[in-house]
Chain A
Amino acid sequence: MKVSIKLFAIVRDRAGVADLTLDLPAGATIAFAADLLAKKYPAIETFLPRCAFALNLEYTSISELLKDGDELAVIPPVSGG
């Protein structure tokens, strides 16, 4: 299944990419996708544990299951305002 990934701020800078698509096996969780991102972009690995995750525009837990067409965003600690 294909999941689109959005990276922001420090994670985007370290990975060198803002948007990508991951090809994942059925039943993959956000945790699985995060591990895969850390392997593809080792520069973000140490920062990932400080990040939240948003699935289809809502914060969600790392154990959530992904489905085809989902949009998963890595949300570093926010600093708006």
Chain B
Amino acid sequence: MSDRIEILSTPLSVYDAEQFVVDLQAGGICVFSGNTRAETSSDGRELVALDYEAYADMALRQLNELAGRARERWPILKLAILHRTGRVAVGEPSVVIAVSCGHRAEAFEACRFLIDELKRDVAIWKKEVWKSGDATWVH
């Protein structure tokens, strides 16, 4: 199996994603980790986490199709796209993408493409969770 595409409710392992795409033909492996960034709102509230929800059936279908499009454009050996649902604390990854190619240029480009496209239209949503306990949907 040359693609690992999953939506899971448990913490993501950047190491596992990277190990999945290691290939003897791969000179370049690119790994992207999208993490919850610390933030203070303009009215002084402190962000503690992002809470993610997915329309899993549709999102998985979209991610598989996205992987197919990336493979049409670049000579990808293996790829992994992992996205979490549930609470992702500041400093933790909500999404990990790993790509292996023969050479680094394609690996960088394909990895960038996958995260940019994922953010554009995959059926996943996040809510900002503040220290006070309020939560607000991002839209």
Interface residues of A, Cβ cutoff 8 Å to B: 6, 8-10, 13, 50, 54, 57-59, 73, 75-81
Contact = CB atoms under 8 A, between A and B. Distances in A.
Pairs A-B, 5 closest by C-beta atoms: A80-B124, A9-B125, A79-B138, A10-B137, A77-B139
B113 interface: no
B55 A73 contact: yes
B55 A79 contact: no
Contacts of B137: 9-10, 13, 76, 79
Interface of B: 34, 52-55, 57-59, 61, 83, 94-95, 115, 118-127, 137-139
A50 B138 CA distance: 13
A79 B57 contact: no
A78 B34 contact: no
A49 B125 CA distance: 17
Contacts, number: 69
A18 to B, nearest CB: 10
23 contacts: A9-B127, A57-B61, A58-B58, A73-B58, A76-B125, A76-B139, A78-B120, A78-B121, A78-B122, A78-B123, A78-B125, A79-B119, A79-B137, A79-B138, A80-B54, A80-B83, A80-B94, A80-B119, A80-B122, A80-B125, A80-B126, A81-B83, A81-B118
Nearest to B65: A58
A79 B58 contact: no
Which interface residue of A73, A78, A79, A80 has the most chain B CB atoms within 10 A? A80
B94 A8 contact: no
A79 B125 contact: yes
Given A57-B61, A81-B34, A75 B55 contact: yes
Contact of B124 (A13, A58, A59, A78): A78
A73 B125 contact: no
Nearest to B85: A80
